[in-house]
Amino acid sequence: MKCTHSLTCYLPVTDPTARIVRDDDVKGRVPQTPEEFASAFLASSAGLENRADMDSYRQEFVGKPERVIAYRQSASAEHATTSRKGSAYMISIPMEARAVMLRRLQILRGTLATQLIIFM
């Protein structure tokens, strides 16, 4: 398949008018409908590997209450103690302003030699 769109190559899977087959030798073997693309992917080695990876993820993480508890503890530990308990933000506005000012100071210190050369 030849991707005719610069932004994404997924469009030929869903838009039959966007498909351009590169070679005449493979015209009959290229899937024509989204369903054919899906079945070809599922039968391919990449599809089988993807399915095995998804199954191992489900066995390891899905339906495990201890994982839920660990995640909630981790998420609450990331929040600053000064921010509201129900806040979706990790740090308070004053903490964020301090971090931004500190980073700007670090940038200015890093370019101090350049600033001195410019002013001379």
One DSSP character per residue, 85-115 reads TT-SSSS-HHHHHHHHHHHHHHHHHHTHHHH
Cα distance between residue 120 and residue 115, in whole Å: 9
Cα distance between residue 100 and residue 91, in whole Å: 12
Q: Which amino acid is at 116?
A: L
pLDDT on residue 35: 83
Q: Which residues contact 91 (CB under 8 A, 6 or more apart)?
A: 79, 80, 82, 83, 99
How does pLDDT run along the chain (120 residues), one tens digit per residue?
455 555 455 555 666 666 666 666 666 677 777 788 888 888 989 989 999 999 999 999 899 999 999 988 988 888 888 877 777 788 888 889 999 999 998 888 887 777 777 776
